[in-house]
């Protein structure tokens, strides 16, 4: 006896790939695609900055201070006669690295602690969540500044400060999701198979959290870029002559009236990049949500 419901057409099987569905939904989202193109262009431009720009970002030319935009200097020069556009391209390197690395660190810490907290519950949950509460209740900018002041302003400490500030919200989201997942029947089924707790947490729950993590990642990159900008603007982040966008804005603000582009151009770069990442994040969230699929 054949049962029609049991025999799904095999071609339907291959079409229904999760990844392909996700990519299709994502590519239909115009804003997300614009964001993606912007970010890819930016990454390439930052990576190949020395070949793209004819100028040296560190060369001081006191006879070419605060020049307006021209065909040689597309966005003009700053107070040391350095090309603003070139400084922005080189600044993108630091800003992007600062966006990505601390996000990855806080994501890793937050995921592990969130899953442990949500699945094990009890005392583990209490300790982790009270720590997270403390991190969230404490003014994060102040905390990051304190870390930078005491440890010194360099890139490694920026990573540390931002990860310290960022893991708590990740842990909360992951914990909430773990709490929902642990009641699912497939977790019960895994338990009924004799699956160990660690295998359930990292073999069964973790893969289900990945879509959330991707979205969190894409949303925490712009946040980290903003954080770095704030810290650099306040003078405890990246130090001159290195360039990061926040630092460029900070240094440029003194010449706001003579040469507004020096401060505004990197500010616009921050704005556009943050927006682009946010669009990507929104697009990913919609694309990874099965209920949004047709």
Partner 1 sequence: MADYDPILSVRNLRTEFSGGRGDVRVLDDVSFDVGRGKIIGLVGESGSGKSMTALSLMGLVPKPQGRVNAGSILLDGTEISKLDAAGMRRIRGRDIAMVFQEPMTSLNPVRRVWEQVGEPLAIHKGLGRSAIRKRVLEMFEMVGIPEPQTRLDAYPHQLSGGLRQRAMIAMGLICEPKLLIADEPTTALDVTTQAQILRLMRDLRDRVGTSIILITHDLGIIAEMCDEVNVMYAGQMVEQANVFDLFENPSHPYTRGLLASIPRATEARVARRMPSIPGMVPNLAKLPPGCRFAPRCRDAMPTCQRPPDLETVGTGHVARCWLHAGQTALQSEATR
Q: In terms of CB distance, is 12 or 137 closer to partner 1?
A: 12
Shortest CB 111 distance to partner 1, Å = 15
Task: Decide if residue 137 touches partner 1 (CB under 8 A).
Answer: no
Task: Decide if residue 185 touches partner 1 (CB under 8 A).
Answer: yes
Q: In terms of CB distance, is 253 or 293 closer to partner 1?
A: 293
| Burial annotation 105-127 (CB, 10 A radius, 16+ → b, else e) | bbbebbbbbbbbbbbeeeeebee
Shortest CB 232 distance to partner 1, Å = 40
Q: Which of residues 17-56 bind partner 1 (CB under 8 A)?
A: 18
Shortest CB 197 distance to partner 1, Å = 9
Q: In terms of CB distance, is 3 or 63 closer to partner 1?
A: 3
Phi, psi (degrees; rounded to nearest 5) at 257:
-95, -30
Task: Decide if residue 136 touches partner 1 (CB under 8 A).
Answer: no
Q: In terms of CB distance, is 156 or 210 closer to partner 1?
A: 210
Q: In terms of CB distance, is 187 or 259 closer to partner 1?
A: 187
Q: Which of residues 1-20 bind partner 1 (CB under 8 A)?
A: 1, 3, 5-8, 10, 12-13, 16, 18
Shortest CB 171 distance to partner 1, Å = 21
Q: In terms of CB distance, is 188 or 254 closer to partner 1?
A: 188
CA distance 207 to 186: 13
Shortest CB 8 distance to partner 1, Å = 6
Shortest CB 207 distance to partner 1, Å = 4
Shortest CB 7 distance to partner 1, Å = 6
Q: Which of residues 187-226 bind partner 1 (CB under 8 A)?
A: 188-196, 199, 204, 207-208, 210
Question: Which of these, 246, 11, 219, 184, lies nearest to 107 by C-alpha position?
Answer: 219
Q: In terms of CB distance, is 71 or 193 closer to partner 1?
A: 193
Q: In terms of CB distance, is 54 or 207 closer to partner 1?
A: 207
Total residues at the site for partner 1 (CB under 8 A)? 28
Length of the chain: 294
Binding site for partner 1 (CB under 8 A): 1, 3, 5-8, 10, 12-13, 16, 18, 184-186, 188-196, 199, 204, 207-208, 210
């Amino acid at each position: 006896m054949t049962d029609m419901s049991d025999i799904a057409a095999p071609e339907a099987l291959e079409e229904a790939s999760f990844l392909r569905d996700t990519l299709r939904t994502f590519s239909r989202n115009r804003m997300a695609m614009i964001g993606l193109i912007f970010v890819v262009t930016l990454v390439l431009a930052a990576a190949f900055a020395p070949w793209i720009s004819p100028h040296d970002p560190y060369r001081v030319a006191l006879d070419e201070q605060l020049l307006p935009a021209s065909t040689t200097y597309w966005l003009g020069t700053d107070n040391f006669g350095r090309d603003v556009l070139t400084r922005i391209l080189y600044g993108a390197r630091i800003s992007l690295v600062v966006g990505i690395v601390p996000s990855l660190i806080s994501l890793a810490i937050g995921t592990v602690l969130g899953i442990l907290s949500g699945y094990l519950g009890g005392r583990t949950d209490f300790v982790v969540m009270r720590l997270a509460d403390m991190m969230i209740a404490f003014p994060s900018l102040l905390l990051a500044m304190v870390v930078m002041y005491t440890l010194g302003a360099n890139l490694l400490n920026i990573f540390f400060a931002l990860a310290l500030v960022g893991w708590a919200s990740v842990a909360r989201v992951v914990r909430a999701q773990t709490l929902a997942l642990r009641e699912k029947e497939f977790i019960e089924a895994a338990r009924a198979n004799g699956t160990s707790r660690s295998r359930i947490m990292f073999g069964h729950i973790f893969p289900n959290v990945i879509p959330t993590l991707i979205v969190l990642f894409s949303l925490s990159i712009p946040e980290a870029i903003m954080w770095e900008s704030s810290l650099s603007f306040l003078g405890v982040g990246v130090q001159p002559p290195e360039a990061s966008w926040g630092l460029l804005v900070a240094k440029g603000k003194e010449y706001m009236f003579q040469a507004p582009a020096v401060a505004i151009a990197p500010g616009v770069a921050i704005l556009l990049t943050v927006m682009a990442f946010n669009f990507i994040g929104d697009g990913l969230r919609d694309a990874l949500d099965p209920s949004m699929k047709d």
